[in-house]
Structure 1
Amino acid sequence: MEMAAGAGTGTAAGARAWLTVLTTTDDPGKAQALARGAVEARAAACAQIAGPVTSVYRWKGAVETASEWQVLFKTTGARYDALEAYLLAAHDYDTPEIIATPVVRGSADYLRWVEEETVEEETVKGDGMEGETAE
């Protein structure tokens, strides 16, 4: 079995890390907007939307039940702060769920693609690819 480059090799924390980041929202249109915005901002390489799911939680002293849509983002450790900042700004919940889980292993080609798609916009513009921009 081949491990992805950097996986389990003792690299510096965050130097080569991949994450899945989960959030939820109460409307499929909002889930779509959060997913699209994060990918457009290159804070995530992709996002998957699943739902509805039933969430049961305690909020302000009462047990609540709600239908929600989960959005699962694929990103890198280097872009986590940008993704979290985006979600906090774009989300309409007072306290949105934002949970990051490390990807321990994965396809080297897929993880390389995640890295390539989450390169910050300034890096993409300055990489010698004249006329191409990340939006």
Structure 2
Amino acid sequence: MTAADNAADNSAESVAAKAEPGHLTVLTTTDSAEKAEELARGVIEARLAACAQISAPVTSVYRWQSAIETTQEWQILFKTTTARYEQLEAHLTGAHDYDTPEIIAVPVVRGGAAYLAWVTEETTAP
């Protein structure tokens, strides 16, 4: 390993350390704009995410109860921390009207320092 490789490894470790507690984008879908906004507002009010973005209708094709379904859904992306994920998932599961809601968390591997600090601040209970 060269000195440059060691420096790169050390740099990556310090970036990972700075990223703690870690940040996530969590997504879910629902079948109306009104339900999407209701889920988004509930999560933001509970400080489980700093931001929720609702996308215009998307077409989802999936198998459900042995049938292939095609429906329009609204996708919601939540910006949160790993520390708040469990509570966010519980909130979405309880507030959602789907039997099995899509709840997927994707790690944020890089981001603007000021933005990620804002996400952390907004998801910290007062």
The partner residue of 2:100 within 95, 99, 103 is 95
Identity %: 65
Q: Provide the alpha-carbon RMSD of the alignment.
A: 1.7
The partner residue of 1:30 within 20, 30, 35 is 35
Map of 1:106 onto structure 2: 111
The unaligned stretches of length 5 or more in structure 1 are: 1-6, 125-135
Q: In 1, Cα distance between the equivalents of 2:33 and 2:97?
A: 13
Q: Secondary structure at the match of 2:111?
A: coil
The unaligned stretches of length 5 or more in structure 2 are: 1-11
Q: Secondary structure at the match of 2:78?
A: strand
Map of 1:51 onto structure 2: 56
Q: In 1, Cα distance between the equivalents of 2:39 and 2:32?
A: 11
The partner residue of 1:118 within 102, 123, 126 is 123
Change in 2 beyond 3 A, CA 1:8/1:16:
farther
Q: Secondary structure at the match of 2:70?
A: strand
Q: Secondary structure at the match of 2:55?
A: strand
Give 1 or 2 for the bigger CA radius of gyration.
2
- Count of equivalent residues: 114
**Alpha-carbon offset, residue 8 of structure 1:** 5.0
